[in-house]
Amino acid sequence: MARAFSTASTSEIDVELTVIEGRIPTDMYGYVFINSACGTVNSKGLPYQENLPEGGFNEEFGSPLINGDGVVIRFDLNESEKVKVSTGLMKTPCYYADVATSSPDSTYGKNFKFRNIGLGRRSLRLGTRNQLSTAVMPIRFKSEGKTRLLATFDAGRPYEFDPKTFKLITPIGKNKVWRSFLPFFMNTPFKTVMSTAHPVFDPDTEELFTVNFGKSKKEAWMDKLLFEFYVRNEGRLREFLSKLSERSKLDAKGQELRVAQAKIINEIDNFVFSEHLRRLPFVPKILARIRELFNKLSGKVLLSNNSVFLMKWAGQKTMEEWEVLDENGKAINLAHNMHQIGFSKNYIILCDTNFKFTFDTMLNFPFQNDPKIGPMIRKIMCQPMNENSMLYLIKRSDLSDSNNKKVKAKSISLIHETVHFSVDYDDSDDVVTLHSAHNCCACVADWLRSYDTLATDPDKKIKNDKLGLIAVGEMDIGRIGRLKIDAANGKLIENQSDFKFFDGLENGNITKAHTWGIGLYTHRDMLSHETNTPKITHIFWQSYGLKEDHLSKFIFDMYSDSTRPQKQFKSVDMLNLTKKGAPPVLQCVNTQTMESEEFYAFGKEQYMWTLQFVPRKNATHNVPSGKDGYILTTVINGDPNDNFTELDYKPEVWIFDANDLKNGPKVKLKHPDFSFGFTIHSVWVEHADEVSSPDYAINIREDYPLKHSKIFGVIPFPDMLKSKRDKKIAKLFEKEIYQKFDS
């Protein structure tokens, strides 16, 4: 039987990979850790099946692949000519709550069950899952000397885990320190916390920096109402939305479309709010007045809250924090989120990244497999990302005054969408250097859905095996950047900055190094917890390429010439190039010349996900330090099965010589028990020994006290008596959660 495109298991393994071809280099050492999203407690891996084992449609079918429980993969490279692999599932308190409430015979009821509702997973009564499925961050305090590792996620605080056993040790920062995305009267045990998936650690100062931010909560309020009604009265909501979809006019363009979207949102808003109020003992005549009063208060008092907090942690239970303001002393209003932050010797760099991990994308999946409702909800909830992005520079010396809890940042606008970047530690003469990835006219926060059709053939649906894949079909060419910033004045030094793209075209076909679908990257000492890199000299880039079954008609329309008139390649050109295709590429770019020094092109059905630089044990003569090592990659290799009727996608590990990409991998490896579907960010560390519980470890019982708010409902009227709900929550924590962390 052929293996599906995205197949993975949450079962933990400890195996030695076998060689498919080539030979394992003898001068590798250390460990590579890769984080991956791996389905839910129900699916126990990937793919999400269309039907349940007991029969009936699976509501998780078509969920985004990046929305899943975190499985961390550890590669041990220390034995000559051996590569050993171990995996561990990140079992947070909310993971155990998910397990306890997920079974059909659970005694807690449907209001406690977690659901995939977009890029997030949420329970009405318990809150939002912190899935820890995005990145791995190393830290080390010199007084101890041990390497410690954090698992991270955009919608949750980081957790430290043991590098050897994968057991979670402690969250970073007490629960009460982290602000929820939702209003105070919507409190749940597992708060909706928005942070960065890429906190940063400075080994020179032994400080970890991260962020905690919130956007205007009025949108979150209405999305919460929609989710609550969805859980409590799914049939009634489905009936309403189905009728609404039949009379909606979402084929319009421009301003007419925006008006239609606003009208539909208002109708849903009115319906859900009115349905909630009907449950309260008020006469119908005053419903409109209550609604009017509440909207006035919610917009100005209860729910208006745009804020960004910079947080610093140096190995203590508490965290220092500063509210970040712009140059005019006003709160920062984020368009998207802060997926990535960075630092240099004297500055912290925050970025409003073009990755829409915000509340609208976390809650746009109800009925998403319904051919009527799904497209309508997506059309009104999923908007194009901004075509630029904002950087915010904070002077680190401004953080020295412990009495001042506000700090101003200089704002710099970039002309292209930005998701990831690295920073040179050297910022001499107040010049900060960023090396950036620009995902132009791509939508990494959207995913391929069951009702999607191909842009190249709108009558043909996306195949089931690609459902849930991030929408890596690009509507313009990606760029890589070397950006020089005058930090003192908060300005981009344009004559020293470069946004570079390679189209790879040769005789009308894309055969050379390119930046179509620019993705992840790696470089020597990236995320090092031992040394800062003054100047990054070489960066290894991943490009997804162009594939017909990755570009949906929805993305094609959303990033059309009318919405993106400044595109380098027009829509008709993108359609033609996508039909021809472009292979995935691994390439090395010299950051000084901004030229591609060499590259390797993968086959048509070969997908490279993660890439990680691994240094050699001993320096090689005449090889630049930035290329003196290996690139470990995870690859899904699609080959025809024995009957040649479908592709058999095999998970493999390919290791390249970083100074000789063009000649292909030095070795390819696999193991029948090692299965991954979608791997994400990675890190290399020299040591990964078992660690003891640190002084800053937080007691989970104390972190989640059984003193939950009585104000859980959608309307802020307190319950006078302790409810059955709170008793169930207390039982859940005592029986299913606390005991897992007591030892």
Give the HSE-up count for residue 2: Cα atoms under 13 Å, Cβ half-sphere: 17
Using CA atoms, how far residue 607 sits from 43, 159, 649, in Å, is 23, 30, 10
Give the HSE-up count for residue 400: Cα atoms under 13 Å, Cβ half-sphere: 7
Return the pLDDT at 53. Answer: 80
Return the pLDDT at 470. Answer: 83
How far apart CA 450 and CA 371 sit, in angstroms, is: 8
Return the pLDDT at 592. Answer: 96
Using CA atoms, how far residue 547 sits from 458, 521, 606, in Å, is 15, 20, 11
Helix (H) or strand (E) holding 472: none
Peptide bond before residue 640 is cis, with ω within 30 degrees of 0: no
Per-residue pLDDT tens over the stretch 485-496: 999 999 999 999
Q: Are 96 and 338 in contact (CB under 8 A)?
A: no
Q: What is the DSSP string of 265-321?
A: HHHHHHHHHHHHHTTSS--GGGHHHHHHHHHHHIIIIIS---EEEEEEESSSSS-EE
Amino acid at 738: Y
Return the pLDDT at 287. Answer: 52
Per-residue pLDDT tens over the stretch 467-479: 998 866 889 999 9
CA angle 53, 55, 56 (to 5 degrees): 120
Mean pLDDT by 10 residues, the chain (743 residues): 86 97 97 97 93 85 91 97 97 98 90 88 91 97 93 96 97 93 73 93 98 71 68 83 83 74 78 68 52 50 69 92 94 88 98 71 67 82 83 96 88 93 97 96 85 95 89 88 96 96 94 95 97 98 94 92 92 96 96 97 93 96 96 90 69 98 98 93 97 95 73 38 75 94 84
How far apart CA 385 and CA 558 sit, in angstroms, is: 10
Q: Are 6 and 66 in contact (CB under 8 A)?
A: no
pTM exceeding 0.85: yes
Q: Are 131 and 157 in contact (CB under 8 A)?
A: no
- What is the C-alpha R_g of the chain? 25
Give the HSE-up count for residue 113: Cα atoms under 13 Å, Cβ half-sphere: 19
Q: Are 6 and 469 in contact (CB under 8 A)?
A: yes
Return the pLDDT at 21. Answer: 96
Nearest to 312 by CA among 402, 408, 391, 179: 402
How far apart CA 559 and CA 563 sit, in angstroms, is: 6
Is 60 in a helix, a strand, or coil?
A: coil
Per-residue pLDDT tens over the stretch 617-646: 999 999 999 999 999 999 999 876 555 567
Return the pLDDT at 721. Answer: 38
CA angle 34, 392, 536 (to 5 degrees): 50
Q: Are 550 and 519 in contact (CB under 8 A)?
A: no
| CA 604 from centroid of its chain's CA atoms | 26
How far apart CA 169 and CA 698 sit, in angstroms, is: 8
How far apart CA 717 and CA 645 sit, in angstroms, is: 61
Longest dimension (CA), the chain: 84
Nearest to 549 by CA among 652, 640, 468: 468
How far apart CA 325 and CA 339 sit, in angstroms, is: 19
| CA 439 from centroid of its chain's CA atoms | 14
Return the pLDDT at 617. Answer: 94
Assigned token pair, 431: 């010049």
Number of neighbours of residue 373 by Cβ within 10 angstroms:
20
Burial class of residue 702 (count of CB atoms within 10 Å of its CB; 0-12, 13-18, 19+): exposed
Return the pLDDT at 494. Answer: 95
How far apart CA 474 and CA 451 sit, in angstroms, is: 19
Q: What is the DSSP string of 505-524?
A: EETTEE-S---TTEEEEE-T
Q: Are 34 and 679 in contact (CB under 8 A)?
A: yes
Assigned token pair, 137: 């961050």
Assigned token pair, 324: 């970040």
Assigned token pair, 599: 């590259």
Using left for φ > 0, alpha for ψ between -120 and 50, and beta otherwise, residue 603 falls in beta
Helix (H) or strand (E) holding 702: helix 700-703
The DSSP symbol for 618 reads S
Is 57 in a helix, a strand, or coil?
A: strand
Q: What is the SS3 assignment for 559-606?
A: CCCCCCCCCCCCHHHHHHHHHHCECCEEEEEECCCCEEEEEEECCCCE
Helix (H) or strand (E) holding 635: strand 629-640
Helix (H) or strand (E) holding 531: none
| CA 362 from centroid of its chain's CA atoms | 11
Q: What is the SS3 assignment for 306-336?
A: CEEEEEEECCCCCCEEEEEECCCCCECCCCC
Burial per residue of 374-403, b for 16 or more beta-carbon CB atoms within 10 angstroms, e otherwise: bbbbbbbbbebbebebbbbbbbbeebeeee
Using CA atoms, how far residue 456 sits from 443, 444, 606, in Å, is 18, 20, 21
Q: Are 515 and 478 in contact (CB under 8 A)?
A: yes
Give the residues across from 116 on adjacent strands. Answer: 121
Return the pLDDT at 716. Answer: 35
What lies within 8 Å, CB to CB, of 396 at 6+ separation is 343, 346, 347, 348
How far apart CA 172 and CA 130 sit, in angstroms, is: 13
